[in-house]
Structure 1
Amino acid sequence: MKRLFHANIIDITGILIIGLALFFFSFGSNIKNLFEVPASFLNMNTIFLSILIEALPFVLVGVLIAGIIQIFVTEEHIKKCIPKNKLLAVLMSCIIGALFPACECGIVPIVRRLISKGVPIHAAMGFMLTGPLINPIVIASTYMAFGNNFKIAGLRMGLGFVIAIIISIVISLLFKGNQFKTAPQKQTIHSHSHTKKGPFLNRFWSMLTHSIDEFFDMGKYLVIGAILAAFVQTYMPAKALLEAGDGTVASLIVMMGLAYVLSLCSEADAFIGASFSSLFPTSSILGFLIFGPMIDFKNTIMMLNVFRFKFVISVLALVASIIFIVLLLLSSYI
């Protein structure tokens, strides 16, 4: 009874946060007529809505896939598919992620559901890092954004894949268990009853129910992350950051920082990255294109809802440091 009440509270707060955010930000122009609102707030409103509109379709796809995994995929299916060898499990998860058209906005609920079904944390992280970065849609958009030149798209795909494998292997050495904030039983409270054989319509309805719960659980953190990202974009001195990006090391730090703060969707970030190609070297552009899809500001907020704080911060530090080191070492050759 307590668990059911707790789940309902989560759903209600998710609905309230999403509803209030959409109401206040959607009617920003009408509010301006009633109150004196700074122009910077209206700019923040526009950025927030653009992030939210861009992200929501991918979150919906993600929670639907998570619902399908929860209801129709059993622990036995997972055990048969994932090799016991850590390296092979990482390789397989990265390959599946590379072929899977996902966005970082919707990847977290899928990863949570996979881990709750028995996927090792290192394999799940391999999938999470490659899914938004190397899938066919992202590669095609990168190819078009850079004037139908395959160099940047190829480097993004190849280096991103290698970096994801390195990060996942390091995670396999540092972390054991699922790293959930709450006990596994709470993550899979309905798993045994709903994955049993039953009428298809009943299982389909259970899948939709799980997807709706997942959407409002993840959605409120997406809204919070989008508001914070819009705030930083509005009030961050971008010109000063661009001026600070003088030299290979500084420009790489600036571009990776911009990728994290801007929280762009991986299907569209290449067009933003291409606009910086005349200002920064190729290694810095690749830092922007690889780091952002792997982990960004709103993605971090969503991960903090699912995983332990120490684990999320460790993953963030690992991703940032390994990308930085690899691109810095290769900066003279790319």
Structure 2
Amino acid sequence: MQTILRKGPFVAAAACLVLLALIVARKRPPDFGTLAAFPWSGFKTIFISILLEAVPFVLLGVLVSALLQVFVSERTVRRWTPRHPALGVLFACTLGIVFPLCECGMIPIVRRLMRKGMPVYIAVTFILAGPILNPVVYASTFAAFRSHPEMAYSRMGLAFLVAAAIGLLVRAFVRRSPLKREHPGLASGADEGGGGRHDHGRSARGAAHVHGAPGSGKLAATFGHASDEFFEMGKYLLIGAMLTAVIQSAVERESLAAIGQGAWSSHLFMMGFAYLLSLCSTSDAFVASSFASTFTSGSLLTFLVFGPMLDLKNTLMLLSVFRVRFVLALAALLAAAVLTGSRLFELYVLN
């Protein structure tokens, strides 16, 4: 079982690369009976669009993560991090304004900050709030719901409440670090020393870092860390993008929209829909607004809050960083909090 879990992502990533090569070459896959009836054209479009949408944010995220690794010491992170829980939650929520990234770009940054001393509850709050509580997402939501600006305000408010509540629960009940064991390629022998003085003696990058000039050494270390993290996180992004493209291609959206105005069923449907679509938080508001005439405002709010916090590709990336039990517990808490909160907002704010 451990061999399957260890080798599985690489096999799936290789399959994604083969599909990507077929797309670039504009060739149809071989005819294997029922596979010929699969809507390959739609699959290719969705797969490429997800990658084009997510990769820039992943690149930005791993670059910021590498800069934090090389230039920010553990002592600095601990000095900036508030000790009071309430202030810590506020600090995590406002980090989204400083790092206005998609959920794909958050995870490398959070992993690096946690390894430099950031408490788990602040890191989790940042993962949940960051993709929504930033000016780019607010502007896109306001533009998509110009006739209903309360959707933009409600999205920001519910995201803050859910992220803060789960962050405080994590602080109260999580005592051990939920991080997985560090990948050898990402290990740094002297994180505590800060300032980028790390032992990379096994590679040419390490030699340049140790023996070269300080400026060039830090630059080489930055790109080395960024490339390591990009290839580690990228394989999970490829798997998530491929699965999402398959689901979106095989299921007709018109038939899914028939659920309509159910009090709870519409919320559950939009939660699952957001999870499977795996849209970027900067563009999902335009998809949600297309369902405004058939779905309740509360269920649209569920879509807008739950999707950026937890979706298919982001789950795979979380599993690459955190332990499975922690991710499952986080997903259950998140689903319950968003479902309850969006229903309350629908009853008392949006109507």
Report runs of 4+ in structure 1 exceeding 6 Å deviation.
9-15
1:244 aligned partner = 259
Is 2:294 the partner of 1:279? yes
Is 2:183 the partner of 1:195? no
Q: Deviations over 1:46-82 (max 9, x none)?
A: 2111111111111100110110011111100011001
Is 2:295 the partner of 1:269? no
1:223 aligned partner = 238
In structure 2, C-alpha distance between the alignment counterparts of 1:224 and 1:263, rounded to whole Å: 12
2:21 to 20, 23, 35: 23
In structure 2, C-alpha distance between the alignment counterparts of 1:267 and 1:140, rounded to whole Å: 9
Gaps of 5+ in 2: 1-6, 199-212
Q: Deviations over 1:109-132 (max 9, x none)?
A: 111111111111110011111111
**Where do 1:124-203 residues align within 5 Å?**
124-147=123-146, 149-182=148-181, 188-192=187-191, 195-196=196-197, 199-203=214-218
Is 2:52 the partner of 1:53? yes
Give the CA deviation at 1:262: 0.2
Give the CA deviation at 1:234: 1.7
Give the CA deviation at 1:331: 1.9
Give the CA deviation at 1:163: 1.3
**What is the TM-score normalised by the length of structure 1?**
0.89
**Where do 1:291-330 residues align within 5 Å?**
291-330=306-345
In structure 1, C-alpha distance between the alignment counterparts of 2:46 and 2:221, rounded to whole Å: 35
**What is the TM-score normalised by the length of structure 2?**
0.85
Matched length: 324
Distance 1:183 1:141, change over 3 A: closer
1:255 aligned partner = 270
1:6 aligned partner = none
**Where do 1:205-216 residues align within 5 Å?**
205-216=220-231
- Is contact 1:15–1:216 with CA below 8 Å preserved after alignment? no
Alpha-carbon RMSD: 2.6
Give the CA deviation at 1:21: 4.5
Give the CA deviation at 1:306: 1.0
2:204 aligned partner = none
Give the CA deviation at 1:148: 6.2
Q: Which amino acid aligns with 1:69?
A: L
Give the CA deviation at 1:105: 1.4
After TM superposition, the structure 1 stretch with the greater mean CA deviation from structure 2, 158-167 or 259-268, is: 158-167
Distance 1:66 1:21, change over 3 A: farther
Give the CA deviation at 1:184: 9.1
In structure 2, C-alpha distance between the alignment counterparts of 1:324 and 1:155, rounded to whole Å: 14
- Is contact 1:295–1:316 with CA below 8 Å preserved after alignment? yes
After TM superposition, the structure 1 stretch with the greater mean CA deviation from structure 2, 323-332 or 257-266, is: 323-332
Distance 1:256 1:226, change over 3 A: same
2:78 aligned partner = 79
2:120 aligned partner = 121
Distance 1:255 1:12, change over 3 A: closer
- Is contact 1:63–1:110 with CA below 8 Å preserved after alignment? yes
Q: Deviations over 1:220-270 (max 9, x none)?
A: 000001111111112235444322344121111111111111000111001
User: Sequence identity of aligned pairs in percent?
Assistant: 39
After TM superposition, the structure 1 stretch with the greater mean CA deviation from structure 2, 275-284 or 93-102, is: 93-102
Give the CA deviation at 1:162: 1.4
In structure 2, C-alpha distance between the alignment counterparts of 1:281 and 1:16, rounded to whole Å: 41
Give the CA deviation at 1:106: 1.2
Q: Which amino acid aligns with 1:24?
A: L
In structure 1, C-alpha distance between the alignment counterparts of 2:80 and 2:134, rounded to whole Å: 20
Q: Deviations over 1:129-184 (max 9, x none)?
A: 11111210010011111126532111111121111101111111221233112159
In structure 2, C-alpha distance between the alignment counterparts of 1:299 and 1:90, rounded to whole Å: 22
Structure 2 SS opposite 1:306 = coil
In structure 2, C-alpha distance between the alignment counterparts of 1:14 and 1:119, rounded to whole Å: 32
